[in-house]
Copies of this chain bind each other. A is one copy, B any other.
């Protein structure tokens, strides 16, 4: 079992850290919110008084932060950057969803200093974080991936080696851009069917078994009360917020722009989420895009 420093205990990071505790690791946790630290400590985590304390002398350092700026600050440019204090042979795993350019830059700095840094953003929402069933997309060398995988399996189910440094972020971006397209497209098709007299559950079944089959129909039907236990049957509470999808689509648009990759479908989904958010729906689950279509 490893000594792990875990920094960032939000909606995702908290349950991820607890799953590491449950797997038997010694997990030193830090967050700006002392409440968040306390919660993990009640599950067996060890409180650290700073990110530095969490990271020092840990075999593995894991971070789960809101943006590239925070990640760069934590490791490189704050007054006490973690790259100055971690063990030389520590494995550093950043599971934040951030821009690939920052991920690559931080990785390069790590390499220059003889440190090992991988990007490993996750997918699967709060429910997946709690259940330990996240999908995790890793940008790393083969050796780094082999070392990281057993640790990541404590938090997720499908651990993918997407490619070299930054590839985890790219893969997640591509996947989430596609997800936004699937969700909006599915909501649109269901709304059109219903407005023309079809039963949403019947139409969902038909498309699920036809060429319209996709994750939204399988796991996350956006039409209220077609599927149990999903946000659409619970007033679009919980789940993956519109604000977070909006953030991820912003990252996708940056990648699209910088690499000159046309993204008309992703741009369209982003426009829809932007309109939906601007009407005050940022805190709803992202399947609430259904409401943008309804009369």
Instruction: State the A residues within 8 Å of B (CB).
Output: 100, 123-124, 135, 137, 158, 160-164, 166-167, 170-171, 173-179, 181-182, 184-186, 188-193, 195-199, 202-203, 205-207, 209-215, 218-220, 246, 250, 252-253, 255-257, 259-272, 274-275, 277-280, 292-295
Contacts and interface: CB of A to CB of B under 8 A. Distances in A.
Contact of A175 (B176, B179, B189): B189
A186 B213 CA distance: 13
B206 A171 contact: yes
A282 to B, nearest CB: 8
A176, A267, A270, most chain B CB atoms within 10 A: A267
Contact of A123 (B137, B190, B210): B210
B265 A158 contact: no
B192 A259 contact: yes
A170 B188 contact: no
A160 B278 contact: no
Given A263-B271, A266-B188, A295-B280, A198 B174 contact: yes
A164 B205 CA distance: 16
Given A162-B203, A267-B267, A177 B188 contact: yes
A260 B277 contact: yes
A178 B124 CA distance: 23
- Stoichiometry, as copies per complex, reads 4
Contacts of A188: 177-178, 181, 261-266
A145 to B, nearest CB: 12
Contact of A162 (B100, B198, B274): B198
A167 B295 contact: no
A287 to B, nearest CB: 11
A269 B191 CA distance: 17
A178 B171 contact: no
Nearest to A192: B261
Contacts of A246: 260
B292 A179 contact: no
Nearest to A100: B196
Contacts of A261: 188, 191-192, 195-196, 274, 278, 293
8 contacts: A171-B206, A175-B210, A178-B214, A185-B265, A185-B266, A188-B265, A195-B259, A278-B295
Contact of A176 (B162, B177, B211): B211
Nearest to A207: B175
Nearest to A177: B189
A163 B191 CA distance: 16
A253 B164 CA distance: 28
